[in-house]
Amino acid sequence: MQNYMYSRFNRASIDKAVRVFSHSRPIAIFCGSWAPIRTAGVAIAMIASGAALAAPGSLDLSFGFGNGKVITPITTNADDNAHAMAIQTDGKIVLVGACGTTTSRDFCVARFEPTGALDTTFSTDGKVITQVGAGNSDAYAVAIQSDGKIVVAGQCGNVLSRDFCLVRYNPNGTVNANFGINGQVITAVGTGDDAAESMAIQGDGKIVVAGTCSLGSADAFCVARYNTDGSLDDTFAGDGKVITSVTTDDDVARAVAVQSDGKIVVAGYCGDSSVSVDFCALRYLSTGAIDTSFDFDGRVTTAIGTFIDVANSIALQADGKMIVAGATTPSGGDTAVGALRYNPFGSLDTSFSGNGTLSLSIGIGADSAQRVAIQPDGKIVLAGNCEDGSGYDFCVARLNSDGTLDNTFSSNGSVITPISANADDKVAGVALDSEGNIVVAGSCGTAPNRDFCIARYEGGPFGARQCSLDIDGDGKVLATTDMLIGTRIALGMTGSAVIGGITFPANATRDQWGTNTSRDIRKYLVSQCGMNLP
C-alpha cells in the first residue's frame, strides 16, 4: 500500500494538494484518494501509522543498517578490541580500544554518527590509530571534555613495566599538541607495573585516572590526577598520584567515579584469587587523602557469592548512592551478573534487592555485567556478556530503582543479542543517548580478527512525553508545515525530504531533520511522539 501510494503521488503533487486545503482543514491520504481530516486525532493516527512504536529492549532499527547494530573493522587483518565508550552531547559515539596483534598494539579511536555510520569529519575516515610510548599501548578509558576534546587513557609499555598513558584528541581527530608532550602523557605511578583501567573528568576539568599498580608482593589501587594541560596535579596527594592497599592480598581497580563534592570513588575486586575474591571500593577526599567517613577507614569489601566476585563498573546515583556491577559465582554454578548498592557512607543499601546485593542469571551459562548506567528516572541498566553455548552475546538487563527487574523492558527485564555469528561478542561500554536509547558497544568476532561493534536498544522516554500536532513548535498547527510533514511521513518519505522545500515560520523552534539537536524534528517525533523513524 505504501509503495503504491508513493508511486502515485510525488512530493510536488502532495504539497499542492495539501495547500488546497490550507484554508480549511488538514488532509490525509486513504487508499490513494484525498479526504479532509475532521479532527486532529485522526491526523496523529495518520502519522503513527507510518512508524510504529517499538517496545523498550528491542533493537532500534533506525540505527546501523536497519537492524539496530553495526560491526566496523578498524584495522585490516588484525584484532580490534574495544574497551570503552562515550557519547558526545551531539549524539556522536566515541569508541576506543587497542588495535593490532598480541605483539604490536596501539591506541585506536573511532567516532560514529548517531546513525551508526563512521563520522568522516573525524580523521577523514572516522578512525585514528596512535602509538603511545614504546611497546604495546592499550586504551581502556575515554572521556569527553566540555570543549569537545577527547581524552583517552590506558597503559603502555611491556608486560611487568607498563605505565599510565594518556592522549588528547581535538574534535576533528588530530592529536592536541597542547596536552603533555606532543599530545601524550606517560606516567610511572609506582615502581613496578601500572595498569590504567578507568578515567573521569572533574567539574573543574582535571582528569582522574585509576588502575592497578604493583607493590612487589601484591597489587594495589592507584590513582593519578592531571591538570588540564596534562601535568600532574600536585594538590592531589602532594605529587598528583597515590597508591593504596584495600586488603593484604591483591587489589584490582576497575572503575572510578567523581562525586559532586569532589570525592573520588574507586571500585574493583580484592582478595586471594585461589581462595576468595570480593567486590571492594575505596574513597578519597579531593586532596587524595583517604576519606575515613566511608565505612570508617575509607575501604569496604563485600561478598555477593561464595567464591569469586569481580566488580567491573560503578555509577553514582543523584542521591549519592553507588551502584557497583560485575560478576558473582553462586554456589555450584556458573558466574552470574552481580551488583550491589552502597549508601553514601559505605554501608549496603538494603532497599536494593532486599539485602543490598543482587545475583542474576540471564543466559544459559556464564554471565557478567561489564558496565552500568543509571537513567534519569532512576532505573539501572546493566550491560555485559552472556554465554550462548558456542560463545558470548551482548546482554542487557534493566532494573527498577529497588533492584527488581523492570518487566517493561523486553517483557522480562533482560535481553540477549548476538552481534556476530558463532563468535564472542564482548561488551565494553553502555550509555544513554538523549532520545532515551540504550547504546551498548564492544568487540565482536573471533580472535585474532575481532572488530568494533555497537548495538542500540529502544529505552523508552525518561519522562512524560510532550507530543503535539504542532510539529515545528511555532505555537500553531498549519497545513503548510505541520500537516505537510505528517503527510510525507505517512507516505513513507524519509530523511531530509520530509522537510524539503518547506518555509518554516520565523518563530518555529524545530526546523531541521536528523541533526540530533533541539531543533531536530525527527528527534522530537521519536522522543516525544514515540515514533520509530529511520
pLDDT for 378-410, tens place per residue? 999 999 999 988 899 999 999 999 999 999 999
Q: Is the pLDDT of residue 86 over 60?
A: yes
Dihedrals phi, psi of 17, to nearest 5 degrees: -65, -40
What does each C-alpha distance from 239 to 168, 187, 341, 353, 499 come to in angstroms?
22, 12, 32, 41, 57
Read off the pLDDT band of 14 (50, 70, 90): very low
d(CA 493, CA 47): 12
Q: Per-residue confidence at 158, pLDDT binned at 50, 70, 90?
A: confident
pLDDT for residue 81 is more than 50 = yes
Provide the b/e sequence for 193-209 (b: ≥16 CB within 10 Å).
bbbbbbbbbbeeebbbb
Residue at grid coordinates 481530516: 37
What is the C-alpha radius of gyration for the chain, rounded to an integer number of angstroms?
A: 25
Element (H, E) at 525: helix 521-529
Contact of 434 with 516, CB cutoff 8 Å: yes
pLDDT band of 462, cuts 50, 70, 90: low
What integer pLDDT is reported at residue 463 of this predicted model? 55
Give the range among 11-25, 235-249, 453-467 with minimum mean pLDDT: 11-25
Average pLDDT over residues 42-63: 66
Check residue 452 and give its pLDDT. Answer: 98
User: Whole-number mean pLDDT of the chain?
Assistant: 88
185 Cβ contact partners less than 8 Å away, ≥ 6 residues apart: 164, 165, 166, 167, 179, 226, 230
Question: Measured between alpha carbons, how far is 226 from 143 in angstroms, rounded to an integer?
Answer: 14
pLDDT tens per residue, range 310-331: 999 999 999 999 999 999 998 7
Mean pLDDT of 522-534: 79
Classify 397 as helix, strand or coil: strand
Compute the distance between CA of residue 187 and CA of residue 216 in angstroms, rounded to an integer.
Answer: 18
Q: Which residue has the cell 486532529?
A: 40
pLDDT in the model for residue 32: 36
Q: Is 60 exposed, middle or buried (0-12, 13-18, 19+ CB in 10 A)?
A: buried
Q: Which grid cell is 120?
A: 568522516
241 vs 532: which has the higher pLDDT: 241
Q: pLDDT by residue (tens digit) across 249-267?
A: 999 999 999 999 999 999 9
First to last CA, the chain: 19
The pLDDT of residue 362 is above 70: yes
pLDDT at 333: 80
Q: What proportion of the chain, given as a percentage, has pLDDT over 70?
A: 88
pLDDT at 24: 33
Q: Which three cell numbers stand for residue 178?
A: 597542547
pLDDT digit string (tens) for 183-204? Answer: 999 999 988 899 999 999 999 9
Single out the residue of 348, 513, 360, 381 nearest to residue 456, CA to CA: 381
Helix, strand and coil content of the chain, in percent to the nearest 5, comes to 10, 40, 50
Q: What is the total residue count of the chain?
A: 534
Measured CA to CA, the distance from residue 452 to residue 474 in angstroms comes to 42
The mean pLDDT value for 66-91 works out to 95
Q: How far apart are CA 80 and CA 106, in angstroms?
A: 10
Asked if pLDDT for residue 7 goes beyond 60, the answer is no
- The 8-class DSSP code of residue 474 comes to S
Q: What confidence score (pLDDT) does residue 346 get?
A: 98
